[in-house]
């Protein structure tokens, strides 16, 4: 019997994709909320203080900083206006183009029931903006890194909509490899490259031999990244719980391994064991509280497939809502708080509490009119301060 993990992979392979629609009751009307599956599975990261790299080459730009500050306050349109004026006055400032790219992706996640054409246009504009930033400052690690993420997003969308993704995938790979050349110890980038080379078909730009080379490179370093790298290439039938239990014996008390083991348990629907691992990970590293966000995402996917099983749906709604409340208690940054209220609102709608659901959605819109309507959480790279780059890793092709 397929697990929630394998089912969700079949459903999305997880990144931004408008495929399914959730019919949600609002008073006597049915409103359709587009389910944007962005994982980022990222989905979501810890969204706390990030680590600054040694050679980022990031311009300190007042307009870009002002726009970022406005965006973090939920004033996305005001931020966009600031950057439009700044670019008009000086089109050769890379920092403003970088922040504009992030704004466009932020807006794309929040368009909700907007047309797919509008969504694709926003993402395309984000790619054009980050390309300009890279052109103006090609030695900036952050710009190349973010270009890789948007390139991957475009490649995946092409694959899912029947277009040829090879050109876009190669662009994404090229951007990530440029970032790696600028910062050779940037191990999360190597993990992204392993995913891209191994998960895309060969005719679309995938290359399992190159993925294996990168895996061997990380295994040679002898840390957790090597084990994560090897896990990406494991066949579907391999017992992931057993794999991470064996790895755990090498790294007793390691929060990252407990996170991976917990997610492996979620992959086979052993929720109690997963929650135990997550709680232990959080005891070691308080920034791991985003794992409750992952748990809510798990219940969202499970609830989508509940069908006529009302008891299962009720359990998913109650457990998912409890998980997102625990994440909210960690006091996430403004956009993630808005996203969390939106998730709670959807859970309330599904439970039949239309009034509370609508109240939560309005709270989310007040915090950020462009809060992400995604099932999966937005990626950390969208919200970290200008001049900082996250050292945390979130899989591109997994739901959590």
Given this model, what pLDDT does residue 390 score?
77
Given this model, what pLDDT does residue 157 score?
87
Given this model, what pLDDT does residue 112 score?
59
| End-to-end CA, the chain | 20
* CATH superfamily to which 4-382 belongs: Tetratricopeptide repeat domain (1.25.40.10)
| Sign, CA torsion 4/8/14/19 | negative
Task: Write down the domain spans for the chain.
Answer: 4-382
Given this model, what pLDDT does residue 114 score?
62
DSSP-derived secondary structure letter, 16: S
Kind and range of the H or E run holding 22: strand 18-26
CA distances from 213 to 48, 130, 197, 198 (A): 32, 29, 10, 11
Ranges in the chain, pLDDT < 70: 1-60, 112-114
User: Could you give the angle at the alpha carbon of 166 between the alpha carbons of 161 and 170, nearest 5°?
Assistant: 130
| Sign, CA torsion 73/77/79/80 | positive
Q: Centre a 10 Å sphere on the Cβ of residue 236 and count the other Cβ atoms it contains.
A: 9
What's the distance, CA 83 to chain centroid?
25
In the block, which residue shows the tokens 């944007």?
36
Residues 6+ apart with CB under 8 A from 277: 258, 259, 261, 262, 265
Q: Centre a 10 Å sphere on the Cβ of residue 242 and count the other Cβ atoms it contains.
A: 10
The CA distance from 321 to 310, in Å, is 16
Residues 6+ apart with CB under 8 A from 322: none
CB 217 within 8 A of CB 196: no
What's the distance, CA 10 to chain centroid?
18
Ramachandran class of 114: left when φ > 0, alpha when ψ lies in -120 to 50, beta otherwise: beta
């Amino acid at each position: 019997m397929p697990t929630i993990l394998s089912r969700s992979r079949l459903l999305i392979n997880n990144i931004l994709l408008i495929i399914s629609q959730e019919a949600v009751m609002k008073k006597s009307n049915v409103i359709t909320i587009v389910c944007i599956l962005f994982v980022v599975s990222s989905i979501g990261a810890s969204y706390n203080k990030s680590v600054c790299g040694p050679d980022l080459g990031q311009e300190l730009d007042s307009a870009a900083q002002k726009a970022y500050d406005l965006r973090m306050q939920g004033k996305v349109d005001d931020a966009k206006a600031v950057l439009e004026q700044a670019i008009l006055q000086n089109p050769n400032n890379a920092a403003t183009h970088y922040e504009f790219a992030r704004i466009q992706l932020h807006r794309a996640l929040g368009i909700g029931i907007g047309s797919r054409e509008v969504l694709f246009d926003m993402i395309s504009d984000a790619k054009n903006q980050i390309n300009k930033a890279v052109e103006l400052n090609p030695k900036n690690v952050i710009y190349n890194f973010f270009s890789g993420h948007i390139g991957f997003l475009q490649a995946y969308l092409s694959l899912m909509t029947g277009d040829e993704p090879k050109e876009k995938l190669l662009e994404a790979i090229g951007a990530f490899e440029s970032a790696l050349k600028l910062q050779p110890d940037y191990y999360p980038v190597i993990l992204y490259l392993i995913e891209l080379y191994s998960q895309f078909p060969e005719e679309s730009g995938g290359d399992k031999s190159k993925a294996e080379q990168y895996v061997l490179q990380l295994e040679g370093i002898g840390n957790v990244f090597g084990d994560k790298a090897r896990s990406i290439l494991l066949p579907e039938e391999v017992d992931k719980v057993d794999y991470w239990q064996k790895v755990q014996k090498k790294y007793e008390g390691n929060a990252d391994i407990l996170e991976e083991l917990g997610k492996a348990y979620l992959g086979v629907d052993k929720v109690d064991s997963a929650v135990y691992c997550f709680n232990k990970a959080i005891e070691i590293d308080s920034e791991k509280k985003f794992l409750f966000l992952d748990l809510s995402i798990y219940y969202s996917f499970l609830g989508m497939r509940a069908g006529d099983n009302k008891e299962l749906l009720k359990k998913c709604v109650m457990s998912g809502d409890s998980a997102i409340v625990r994440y909210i208690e960690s006091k996430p940054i403004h956009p993630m708080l808005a996203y969390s209220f939106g998730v709670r609102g959807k859970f309330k709608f599904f439970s039949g509490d239309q009034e509370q659901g609508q109240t939560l959605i309005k709270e989310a819109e007040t915090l950020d009119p462009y809060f992400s309507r995604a099932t999966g959480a937005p990626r950390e790279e969208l919200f970290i301060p200008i001049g900082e780059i996250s050292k945390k890793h979130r899989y591109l092709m997994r739901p959590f």
